[in-house]
Amino acid sequence: MGPLLKLYIALVVANAVLLLGHDLSVVAQWPYAWSAGVTIALIVLSAIGDHLHFEVRRGWYTNASAVAHIAAAFLLPPGLAMAIAALGVGLRALRHPLAPPKLAFNVASITLAVGAAAHLATRFGGPDRVSPGGSWTDPLIAIVVSCSYCVVSAGLVAVVVALDKRRPVWEVTRGNLSVQTMGEVGLGTVGAMLAAMLNSAPNWAPMLLVPAGLLYLAKQAMDRADRRSRNMAVTSAVGRAVVGTLDPERAFQAIAEGAVLEGLKLDGLALVPMGSPPAFSEHVACEVDRPALRAAILEQLVLEPRQIDLHIGPGRVVPTWVPEDVRCARLAVAAIPFGAGYGRPVGGLIAWREVNAGRAAFFDLDQMLVLKTLADYAAVTLETARLAQETARLHREAGQAEARREMEALREVARLKDEFLGQVSHELRTPLTIIHGYSELMVDGMLTEPGTIRQSADEIHTSSALMLRLVDDLLDTSRLDAGRIELKTDRLDLATWLTRVASGFGQATPTHHVVAQLAAPLPSVMADADRLGQVMNNLLSNAARYSARGTEIRISAAVVDESVEIQVIDQGTGIAAEDCERIFEKFYRGRHGATLAVRGTGLGLAVARQLVEAHAGSIGVRSTLGRGSAFWVRLPMAPAAKAGASRARVA
Ligand code: ADP
């Protein structure tokens, strides 16, 4: 507070004391009659009116005591009217303590304002002017008197604000006090009307207290509702901020700052961690920080995790652990441990408020509820962060496992390719060696007998056919992979076609008994005969390669579930259960010992599967190790054939 401001306040207070002293001493000389009942009623009204304050504009309040003050100015001697106003402000200070200079100025300015109004009213004729027989000018007088009251009070306050904030007086007046003045002129006029009423019927004065009391209660209820909605706004704003982040530090910052300070009228709020390692760092939002008090409270929360609700102030009994330097302050303090649901509390929420004008000396139930909700938010924030971390860890682990699996799959592919290359080279080398050997014999003229020449030519032919098949398979797989094979589909009469395939293969493979077992009638399918022939050839040559000489190879066909199923059944080595799916993969050869004795590339079945799937069909195998295998191919029936086939089955 600057020296000029101090001097100004001193001048106003001195003026008020002098005027009040003088006017009280001449109360008896007041020329008009006044009643004690009206005086008492106005004292009470003034005190109640002081509690009925309204926010005219943000931060600028006016109160209903102006009604009682103007009524007193008309009906009572100026000294008494001034004393009533001074008493009202003084009584209000009992509930909402003020710093002494501020209180003195408030009392003095209102005393002077009422003094001005009362002297003016006396000049105009006092109670006579507001009697029922008054002239037409009376309402005008009421407004003039109210104006004098407002101009003096607003003017005195404007200078204080201007000196305090170091702004020009006219700017302060124009900005906010003008609105307040208008409010007070209105209230003052109501006061003049009240004076008129009381002047004509002074015995009704006590009855005034009923509506005033009701108004007071209504205002209290409105204030409570207002506080609650403000508290809800605080919790919802903080809730939004907390939900919007997974980072506890940011969420705690939002809880500590956010709307908390404004909404709860706090001077400080701290979220302090306990335990080690701490789950978060300390977050403090404050205008006045009190680290010693915070530390002492946290110590108490660690010792005993329970809610603390403390009023510190002169004359109050406070626990011994409250630090010395805080004991003389006027403070309301609340502390709530949080996170206790997970064993012991992980932190404490501490709120404090300097108690002065307009700030209650305690946290009411609603505010405690808000603080508890904030503490719950803090606990939820920590739990959410913990869950998020846990989820991230699981994701990381799952990702690592996935990467490992992919790595293993890649290794397996690389291994299979190496194996394949070795196999292919081997497969190519064997027939090539044979071709090379025989052709060399021929070139050198070593073969003269027509019989041996013919035999050698046969060997060369067989070996080159083998090489051709291998190269064809390789080309087919790469073409199928690239989607470069086009099917020339046509309606294929399965019965005729399969009979031809069976007899052709039977003649070419005298080592085995090839048998065809075809259900009649067999529907036709839409297929590329060459490609389907390639599939059959693969299956049949496998059947021959993986079974002993002299055993039977059976080709069967029947309608199964709206499709035609062709089977190639042998009595050979069979396939291990774990290999049955994998043998259709490219380059995969069965792991069974019997397979290893037979040369191959692991490509035949892969090509077969790709070709069957290109026909919208499917392929698979049923096999028992050591007993034989049954490879099946299912193809969709040709559209027109469907009806015929189902008719045939029904018949
Ligand atoms: P390849 O016969 O050249 O190895 P395939 O793709 O034709 O390649 O066959 C893959 C694997 O399936 C073979 O290595 C073999 O282990 C197994 N297999 C295929 N057909 C039969 C069958 N009829 N009997 C037993 N095993 C078979």
Nearest residue (by CA) to ligand 1, atom 13, is 589
Nearest residue (by CA) to ligand 1, atom 15, is 590
The confidence score (pLDDT) of residue 636 equals 94
Looking at the fold, whether 357 and 296 belong to one and the same domain comes out as yes
Which of 365, 400, 435 is the C-terminal boundary of a domain?
A: 400
What is the domain-level CATH number for residue 515?
3.30.565.10
| Whether the CB of 73 sits within 6 Å of ligand 1 | no
Looking at the fold, whether 193 and 45 belong to one and the same domain comes out as yes
Mutate to test the pocket of ligand 1, among 467, 542, 569 (most ligand atoms within 8 A of CB): 542
| Whether the CB of 573 sits within 6 Å of ligand 1 | yes
Comparing CA positions, the residue from 159, 158, 138, 152 lying closest to residue 82 is 152
Q: Is residue 498 part of a domain?
A: yes
33, 126 Cβ separation under 8 angstroms: no
Give the chain's domain count. 3
Please give the distance, rounded to the nearest whole angstrom, from the Cα atom of residue 629 to the centre of ligand 1.
Answer: 10
The confidence score (pLDDT) of residue 443 equals 87
Nearest residue (by CA) to ligand 1, atom 23, is 543
Please give the distance, rounded to the nearest whole angstrom, from the Cα atom of residue 34 to the centre of ligand 1.
Answer: 125
Q: Is residue 223 part of a domain?
A: no
Q: Which residue has the tokens 């907390």?
A: 242
Please give the distance, rounded to the nearest whole angstrom, from the Cα atom of residue 534 to the centre of ligand 1.
Answer: 15
What is the domain-level CATH number for residue 82?
1.10.1760.20
Looking at the fold, whether 149 and 291 belong to one and the same domain comes out as no
Strand order in the sheet with 308-312: 283-286, 268-273, 347-354, 331-338, 308-312
CA quadruple 55, 65, 118, 120: dihedral sign? positive
| Whether the CB of 300 sits within 6 Å of ligand 1 | no
Looking at the fold, whether 526 and 614 belong to one and the same domain comes out as yes
Nearest residue (by CA) to ligand 1, atom 3, is 600
Looking at the fold, whether 191 and 92 belong to one and the same domain comes out as yes
Q: Is residue 289 part of a domain?
A: yes
Domain range for residue 134?
A: 3-200
Quote the crossing angle between the two packed helices 3-25 and 100-123, to the nearest 10°.
Answer: 40
d(CA 516, CA 554): 6
**Which letter, b or e, does each residue of 247-261 get, where b requires 16 or more Cβ atoms within 10 Å of its Cβ?**
ebeebbbbbbbbbbb
| Whether the CB of 628 sits within 6 Å of ligand 1 | no
Looking at the fold, whether 300 and 380 belong to one and the same domain comes out as yes
Nearest residue (by CA) to ligand 1, atom 21, is 542
Looking at the fold, whether 520 and 611 belong to one and the same domain comes out as yes
Looking at the fold, whether 180 and 263 belong to one and the same domain comes out as no
Looking at the fold, whether 396 and 514 belong to one and the same domain comes out as no
Nearest residue (by CA) to ligand 1, atom 19, is 542
Regions in the chain scoring below 50 on pLDDT = 259, 641-651
The confidence score (pLDDT) of residue 596 equals 67
Q: Is residue 370 part of a domain?
A: yes
d(CA 81, CA 24): 10
The confidence score (pLDDT) of residue 617 equals 95
Q: Is residue 494 part of a domain?
A: yes
Please give the distance, rounded to the nearest whole angstrom, from the Cα atom of residue 539 to the centre of ligand 1.
Answer: 9
| Whether the CB of 345 sits within 6 Å of ligand 1 | no
Looking at the fold, whether 185 and 256 belong to one and the same domain comes out as no
Looking at the fold, whether 26 and 150 belong to one and the same domain comes out as yes
Query: For 591-615, what is each residue's pLDDT tens digit?
Result: 776 666 777 778 899 999 999 999 9
Looking at the fold, whether 189 and 322 belong to one and the same domain comes out as no
Which of 400, 425, 442 is the C-terminal boundary of a domain?
A: 400
Burial of 104 (0-12, 13-18, 19+ CB in 10 A): middle
Ligand 1 atom with minimal separation from the 568 CA = 23
The confidence score (pLDDT) of residue 645 equals 42
The confidence score (pLDDT) of residue 535 equals 95
Please give the distance, rounded to the nearest whole angstrom, from the Cα atom of residue 459 to the centre of ligand 1.
Answer: 24
What is the domain-level CATH number for residue 378?
3.30.450.40
Q: Is residue 302 part of a domain?
A: yes
Q: Which residue has the tokens 């009979």?
A: 499
Q: Is residue 437 part of a domain?
A: no
The confidence score (pLDDT) of residue 646 equals 39
Burial of 2 (0-12, 13-18, 19+ CB in 10 A): exposed
The confidence score (pLDDT) of residue 178 equals 65
336, 307 Cβ separation under 8 angstroms: yes
Rounded to 5 degrees, φ, ψ at 444 are -75, -5
Q: Is residue 263 part of a domain?
A: yes
Structure-token pair, residue 175: 């900005």
Which of 166, 200, 234 is the C-terminal boundary of a domain?
A: 200
